[in-house]
Amino acid sequence: MQRTFSIIKPDAVRRNLIGHINQIIESSNLNILASKKIYLTKIQAETFYEVHKGRPFFESLVKFMTSGAVQVQVLEGEDAVANYRKIMGATNPAEAEEGTIRKLYAESIEANSVHGSDSEENAKIEISFFFSGSELV
């Protein structure tokens, strides 16, 4: 069993897609251990996407991620990191496979509806950034 971290991004929360996205997650052998709706602060969004600092899309990305509420979640299942990345689909929805969350719901390469950790190590860092141990059940 492995855990991963997910964000349902502001574009999807705004369009009432939390339930639709979680239906795909739950029917893909992933359990939702924790889930809460929050507003990211500018500093949280900058820290979260720090690896992209200096890229041309960084400032716009931070603005987008703080433009509305997000749903942060911890998912658990076999190969959760890779499994969730697969059902999310490619970063650019134009390149995402049929049936993936981004193919179904993303508005653009920026407003692409979901985040998922890209490694088990980053999953641990991201989970502890938003959740305390007692919230994971």
How many whole angstroms separate alpha carbon 26 and alpha carbon 131? 20
Examine residue 13 and tell whether it contacts ligand ATP (CB under 6 A). no
Examine residue 3 and tell whether it contacts ligand ATP (CB under 6 A). no
DSSP secondary structure code for residue 97 in this structure: P
Residues labelled as active-site residues = 115
Q: How far is the CB of 122 from ligand ATP (least distance, A)?
A: 9
User: Which range touches ligand ATP (CB under 6 A), out of 16-24, 30-38, 104-112, 126-134?
Assistant: 104-112
- Measuring CA to CA, how many Å separate 1 from each of 52, 64, 75, 77, 78? 29, 33, 10, 5, 5
User: Which range touches ligand ATP (CB under 6 A), out of 16-24, 31-39, 67-75, 105-113?
Assistant: 105-113
Examine residue 112 and tell whether it contacts ligand ATP (CB under 6 A). yes
Examine residue 57 and tell whether it contacts ligand ATP (CB under 6 A). yes
How many whole angstroms separate alpha carbon 133 and alpha carbon 116? 19
How many whole angstroms separate alpha carbon 79 and alpha carbon 2? 6
Strand partners, 73: 6, 35
Binding interface with ligand ATP (CB under 6 A):
52, 57, 61, 91, 109-110, 112, 115-116, 118
